[in-house]
Amino acid sequence: MRTNDSWSPLRDENTPVLFALMLANALIAMDATILATAVPSVISDLGEYSRFPWLFSIYLLTQAVTVPVYGKLADMHGRKPILVFGIVVFLLSSVSAGFATSMTSLIISRAIQGVGAGAVGPMAMTILGDIYTLEQRGKVQGYMASVWAVSSVIGPLLGGFFAEVGAWRGIFFVNVPFALLALILVWRKFADVGEHPSRRIDYLGAITMTVGLTSLVLGILEGGIAWPWLSWQTGVAFGVGVALLALMGVIEPRAEEPVVEFRLMKKRLIVATSLTMVSIGALTVGVTSFAPNFLQQATGISPILAGLAVAAMTLGWPLAGGNSAKLYLRRGFHRTIRLGAVIALIGSILLAVTVHWPSAWFVAGFAFILGLGLGFATAPSTIAAQNSVGWNQRAQVTAINTFARSIGSAVGVAVFGAVSNAVLGYYGGQATPASVTASTQAVFIGVVLGALAMLAGALLTPKDEPVVKKVHRS
């Protein structure tokens, strides 16, 4: 089976829908990072320095914990209403954030933004699985990966620009026209496939799972930052989270329409791709969060040049993702994912062993290799999971993959941050070239371990199930 190399997502009847999905994804991707460079301006205007970390953690928290619920709702009622809801919520909360008069109101607006973002991300990936054939999905996944990659670079630069001109509120107002355009295109150009029979929502399961995940993710994000890891707050957060998620094992088997179908989690393919996505989330945050500061401190280059060096990873990612279809259609999903994991492992090892010879060229080259590996693994993992189920479960498995990657990012931030701080503490807590180099090497060793976990997930991936070339419908 071969993909049609002459086909282009930009010359297709679904092009307006793809553009809308890319635009919506760009907004939620940028809003995860755009505030980073504008924090000083926000604090200067609103005050309350001690609370600014919540601007980031609350967005990631509400985005992550709502994803599984949206996945189930989309399989019950269709993708379009969930996506429209997410864009509208994101739009209104962006306006609210732009008019915030206190740190509290801005934090609340960011929390609501996360609720909207939680719907947009998995719905976009699910819709791609609905409207494109298996052969076409590799290319469109490459386009979507490029959006995330470019947005992760543009976000901090755009935030810095608004801060530089003294207009940090523009960070949020700039979302409005683009969100409106995405909303109009989705509303007018996208029509759901599949049937949507009336089914009863599992409110008890949804509430239990959301509160449990919120407590667990909160413990991961705030442990070691808002409170010590060995504290009663951490114990309560993890204790409540684990207890409520365990309670799901009692609630869901009795529910008429369970929000979590445990039989999906018994599928080896879903477990394997979820482990792969957790590792990908951790790897990505480990490199993008720590490499730029390392280059600035160790080589003295500017923040922009340091950011461009790390951006090489975002070039390799969509390049490999866009061409992954040629591999998985000929060699299978499992072989393609394993190839990606091996390449990512090589890139991460090279980053770790060369850290004592700091060079923007080294980081750029090895980050590019890492990006190639991630590109060959990410798209096939998502597509394989989607291809293993019918239409009425596709949003759920996509949400599982998305949530796994979010958890990987959250755990990565917590673990790598703790490792970095521990090494800096050994050097007296001073950020010198020597101490930053040592702490970065420790983080990059952690990235290597993450790549090994990614390889384990890839090796666990079973041989491909029969290929379903048509769009699944209930």
117 shares its domain with 140: yes
Chain centroid to CA 283: how far?
Answer: 11
Asked whether 261 and 396 are in contact (CB, 8 A), the reply is: yes
Residue 207 inside a domain? The answer is yes
pLDDT at 467: 46
Three-class SS string for the chain?
Answer: CCCCCCCCCCCCCCHHHHHHHHHHHHHHHHCCCCCHHHHHHHHHHHCCHHHCCHHHHHHHHHHHHHHHHHHHHHHHHCHHHHHHHHHHHHHHHHHHHHCCCCHHHHHHHHHHHHHHHHHHHHHHHHHHHHHCCHHHHHHHHHHHHHHHHHHHHHHHHHHHHHHHCCCCCHHHHCHHHHHHHHHHHHHHHCCCCCCCCCCCCCHHHHHHHHHHHHHHHHHHHHECCCECCCCHHHHHHHHHHHHHHHHHHHHHHHCCCCCCCHHHHCCHHHHHHHHHHHHHHHHHHHHHHHHHHHHHHHHCCCHHHHHHHHCHHHHHHHHHHHHHHHHHHHHCHHHHHHHHHHHHHHHHHHHHHCCCCCCHHHHHHHHHHHHHHHHHHHHHHHHHHHHCCCHHHHHHHHHHHHHHHHHHHHHHHHHHHHHHHHHHHHCCCCCCHHHHHHHHHHHHHHHHHHHHHHHHHHHHCCCCCCCCCCCCCC
**184-188, 227-231, 457-461 — which is least confidently predicted?**
227-231
State which of 148, 164, 191 marks the end of a domain: 191
State which of 140, 164, 191 marks the end of a domain: 191
CATH of the domain at 169: 1.20.1250.20
Of the two residues 354 and 154, the one the predictor is more confident about is 354
Residue 1 inside a domain? The answer is no
Section 282-297 average pLDDT: 82
389 phi, psi to nearest 5 deg: -135, 170
Give pLDDT tens digits for 90-122.
Answer: 999 999 999 998 888 998 999 899 899 989 988
253 shares its domain with 322: no
Mean pLDDT of the chain: 82
51 shares its domain with 99: yes
124 shares its domain with 233: no
Residue 274 inside a domain? The answer is yes
For residue 474, pLDDT over 70 is answered with: no
pTM for the model stands at: 0.79
Q: Which residue has the tokens 């008429």?
A: 256
Distance separating alpha carbons of residues 246 and 248, to the nearest angstrom: 5
pLDDT at 91: 94
Confidence of residue 327 (pLDDT cuts 50, 70, 90): confident
State which of 169, 191, 213 marks the end of a domain: 191
For residue 65, pLDDT over 90 is answered with: no
Asked whether 387 and 465 are in contact (CB, 8 A), the reply is: yes
Give pLDDT tens digits for 197-247.
Answer: 556 777 787 788 888 888 887 887 777 767 777 888 888 988 988 898 888
Distance separating alpha carbons of residues 98 and 93, to the nearest angstrom: 8
Confidence of residue 194 (pLDDT cuts 50, 70, 90): low
Residue 5 inside a domain? The answer is no
Question: Among candidates 235, 22, 267, which has minimal Cα distance to 144?
Answer: 22
Section 49-76 average pLDDT: 80
For residue 196, pLDDT over 70 is answered with: no
142 shares its domain with 231: no
* Distances from the Cα of 371 to the Cα of 145, 297, 320, 340, 442, angstroms: 11, 24, 8, 9, 20
231 shares its domain with 348: no
Residue 3 inside a domain? The answer is no
416 shares its domain with 275: yes
**How many CB atoms within 10 Å of residue 245?**
17
Q: Which residue has the tokens 């509290």?
A: 104
pLDDT at 93: 94
Residue 474 inside a domain? The answer is no
Give pLDDT tens digits for 388-412.
Answer: 888 778 888 888 888 888 888 878 8
Confidence of residue 303 (pLDDT cuts 50, 70, 90): low
Distance separating alpha carbons of residues 176 and 181, to the nearest angstrom: 9
Residue 329 inside a domain? The answer is yes
pLDDT at 459: 93
For residue 150, pLDDT over 90 is answered with: no
Residues 417-434 as b or e (16 or more Cβ within 10 Å = b):
bebbeebbeeeeeeeeee
pLDDT at 453: 94
**Percent of the chain scoring above 90 in pLDDT:** 21
Structure tokens at 385: 């999971």
pLDDT at 295: 83
Give pLDDT tens digits for 20-46.
Answer: 898 888 888 788 777 766 777 888 888
Residue 24 inside a domain? The answer is yes
Confidence of residue 2 (pLDDT cuts 50, 70, 90): very low
Residues with Cβ < 8 Å from 5, sequence gap 6 or more?
Answer: none
pLDDT at 359: 87
How many structural domains is the chain composed of? 3
Distance separating alpha carbons of residues 331 and 1, to the nearest angstrom: 10
Distance separating alpha carbons of residues 230 and 261, to the nearest angstrom: 34
Confidence of residue 454 (pLDDT cuts 50, 70, 90): very high
Of the two residues 274 and 256, the one the predictor is more confident about is 274
208 shares its domain with 164: no
171 shares its domain with 306: no
Q: Which domain holds residue 240?
A: 203-258
pLDDT at 132: 83
